[in-house]
Amino acid sequence: MLASLGKAHVQSAKLADGIEFHQEAFRIRHELDDVAGMLDSANAIGLASLRGRRLPDAMAYFATAQELAAELGDVYWTGVLANNVANVHLELDEFGEAEQLLSGAVETFRGIEDTVCEGEALYGLSRARRGLGRPADALGAIRQALAIARENRYRPGEALWSIELGRVEAALGRPAAALEAHQRAAAMHRQIGDRAREASAFDATGEAYRELGRHDEAADFHRLAAAAFRELGDRWRLAVALANLGTALRAAGAAEGDAAAPLREAHAIVADFPDAHARAFGNSIARLMHRPHPV
């Protein structure tokens, strides 16, 4: 029951409450010497911490889960945790480490014929290869992931992975194709009822409009994303959407005060996150804030 409450709260973006429920479930399972249960709880806490961008906590709980998986000799969990640890590396822009882990996870899931988990690993592999500046290789991975999603009628995966397809298309210099993928992702997430990922698709749509030079439309979609993330309490993604909004408003020729306000708020939010990627992101926002406003 505690584990179920933890999952429900995390899915409702009440991360702190969700983590408390999972920690209590972990404590009981430890008292019972329930290794499989402890593994499930540790992984759940890691995922909630990752979602809240508490990256050291996420890595620590995934490490605990890996030790428990090794104790059980569970191949499935070995693949899942390699994928989850890789996601922490992706958030830190450590793309080489992520690619190595995800390549192994893909092989693990192929070996046990778990195609949906294989698709999850291929999605991460696309992100890693795109981060390494290899969008053509990323395109192969994300197309394989999407083929798996469609074959298995896995709509949540198809919706999320379509956002990555759009980002790969943008990296390949095809913003119109990127826009199409992001709009399709937003529509699927609306049908599924996943507001957080719908907001991510909105933000990505705004980025595609910016690449097309349609800055007013870009700003509209970044506003939609920021409003949703604010309501959901997702501060990291709110900061990203606000930074994108400020960038779009500057490019659209908005008044200096209108463009500066979201950038200032984004900079203040990012300061609450201690990791190196967050610091670099905060510095990039600061540079944009101090750049002369276009006349």
pLDDT tens digits, 128-184: 999 999 999 999 999 999 999 999 999 999 999 999 999 999 999 999 999 999 999
pLDDT tens digits, 212-241: 999 999 999 999 999 999 998 899 999 999
The average pLDDT across 87-99 equals 97
Rounded Cα–Cα distance for residues 86 and 54 (Å): 15
Rounded Cα–Cα distance for residues 139 and 146 (Å): 11
- The rounded percent of the chain whose pLDDT value lies above 90 is 88
The average pLDDT across 99-119 equals 97
CATH topology of domain 75-169+176-183: 1.25.40
Decide: pTM greater than 0.75.
yes
Provide the pLDDT confidence category of residue 295 given band limits of 50, 70 and 90. low
- Per-residue DSSP letter, 93: T
The pLDDT score that the predictor gives to residue 275 is: 87
DSSP alpha helix (H) spans, the chain? 2-11, 15-31, 35-51, 55-72, 75-91, 95-111, 115-131, 135-151, 155-171, 175-192, 195-211, 215-232, 235-252, 256-270, 276-290
Q: What is the CATH number of domain 1-73?
A: 1.25.40.10
